């Protein structure tokens, strides 16, 4: 059984921040990433939480991501915010972009944020949830290095390419949070199984010949299984258009891996769309959402996307999070 230790969210943020700075990340870049790491652990998405800190540190040290980067913002049109992440962490670029995106969406009813020359943005739903807390409907797209083969093919051409939608509830927290990749499972989960020497369930990945496999290493050398077959490929292509083609970022087929030290900066992209529901629905948005939510809640055992994370998040704020001691030891090693 995995040995764990319970940390508060403040302790997780502080540990993450100190480790990132020790690895060569500027404090300005380390803070938003540390905040996101704590929030990710709170939501129960351990694969993108503290376990990623040693990977981030390694990537700063090998130059896959520039820990000292300063993202640059531009406003090419009134409804468009563009940020060049300068091969730095996506979180800093998103923070900078949201400072302009949120007021633009409130003023105009809708606005978009296009980010290029970026890096892995972690849990996409963490970012769209922030837009929801601002009273906006948040949509997000992020592309990744190619790991999904096209229908009928065996060579990956698009990444797991998540998309997310977040809508605020009466308490200010996201009431509906869709956050899903185009693959059956996020690639980070396969990587986590490989690190731990565990088999993966059949249906998660395919080997290099396009055959189903339970070996995570074979899956990482092959391709991720698309969710819903050709429909998952379609979602991946949609996200590739939104997050790469429309932002000027590197296509997944040309991007270096998010794992390992080879290849230099991936220079992938993110796209966020923020919509003020009051502007589009003639004040009927809330009643429409109530209708959607109540239709689901009326069924015994039914749940909305995001319910699981919401419950864990609220509990973690008071009880903290149980984290792997092995992961903590790897992070402590970064601090000397």
Active-site option among 47, 92, 164, 188: 47
Set 183, 189, 223, 227: catalytic member: 189
Residue recorded with tokens 């699981």? 308
* 48 catalytic per annotation: yes
Query: For 54, phi and psi rounded to 5 degrees?
Result: -60, -30
303 a catalytic residue: no
Confirm whether 47 is a catalytic residue.
yes
What six digits make up the tokens of 13? Answer: 């943020």
List, as one string, the DSSP characters of 232-291.
Answer: HHHHHHHHHIIIIITTTPPPGGGSPPSSSSTTS---EEEEEEEE-HHHHHTT-HHHHHHH
Separation CA 193–CA 209 (nearest Å): 21
Cα 79 → chain centroid: 24
Q: The dihedral of CA 126, 130, 135, 140: what is its sign?
A: negative
In which residue are the tokens 């694969």 written? 47
Place of tokens 């096209």: 150
- Beta-bridge partners for 323: 5
Looking at the DSSP assignment, which residues form a beta bridge with residue 324? 4
Angle at alpha carbon of residue 47, lines to 133 and 166, rounded to 5°: 20
Q: Which residues contact 19 (CB under 8 A, 6 or more apart)?
A: 53, 54, 57, 331, 334, 335
Given 41, 48, 59, 175, which residue is catalytic?
48
| Six-digit token string for 28 | 């300005």
- Both tokens of 178, joined, read 């869709």
Tell me the CA distances in angstroms from 284 to 44, 80, 279, one per residue in order.
Answer: 33, 26, 10
Q: Mind telling me the catalytic residues?
A: 47-48, 189
């Amino acid at each position: 059984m995995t040995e764990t230790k319970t940390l508060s969210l403040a302790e997780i943020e502080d540990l993450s921040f100190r480790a990132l700075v020790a690895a060569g990340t500027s404090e300005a870049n380390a803070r938003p990433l540390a905040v996101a790491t704590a929030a990710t652990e709170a939501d129960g998405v351990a694969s993108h939480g503290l376990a990623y800190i040693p990977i981030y540190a390694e990537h700063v040290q090998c130059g896959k991501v520039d820990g000292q980067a300063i993202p640059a913002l531009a406003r090419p049109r009134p409804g468009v915010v563009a940020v060049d992440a300068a091969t730095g962490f996506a979180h800093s670029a998103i923070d900078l972009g949201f400072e302009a995106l949120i007021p633009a969406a409130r003023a105009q009813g809708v606005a978009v944020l296009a980010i290029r020359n970026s890096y892995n943005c972690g849990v996409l739903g963490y970012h769209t949830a922030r837009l929801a807390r601002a009273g906006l409907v948040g949509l997000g797209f992020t592309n990744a290095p190619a790991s999904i083969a096209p229908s009928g093919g065996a060579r990956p051409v698009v990444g797991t390419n998540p998309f997310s939608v977040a809508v605020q509830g009466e308490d200010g927290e996201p009431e509906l949070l869709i956050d899903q990749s185009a693959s059956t499972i996020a690639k980070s989960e396969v990587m986590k199984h490989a690190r731990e020497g565990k088999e993966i369930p059949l249906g998660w990945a395919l080997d290099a010949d396009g055959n189903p496999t339970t070996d995570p290493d074979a899956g990482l050398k092959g391709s991720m299984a698309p969710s819903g077959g050709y429909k998952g490929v379609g979602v991946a292509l949609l996200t590739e258009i939104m997050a790469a083609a429309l932002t000027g970022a590197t296509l997944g087929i040309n991007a270096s891996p998010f794992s390992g030290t080879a290849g230099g900066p991936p220079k992938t992209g993110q796209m966020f769309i923020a919509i003020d529901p009051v502007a589009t629905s003639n004040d009927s948005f809330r009643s429409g959402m109530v209708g959607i939510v109540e239709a689901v809640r009326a069924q015994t055992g039914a749940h909305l996307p995001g319910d699981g994370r919401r419950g864990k998040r609220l509990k973690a704020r008071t009880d903290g999070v149980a984290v792997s001691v092995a992961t903590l030891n790897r992070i402590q090693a970064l601090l000397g």
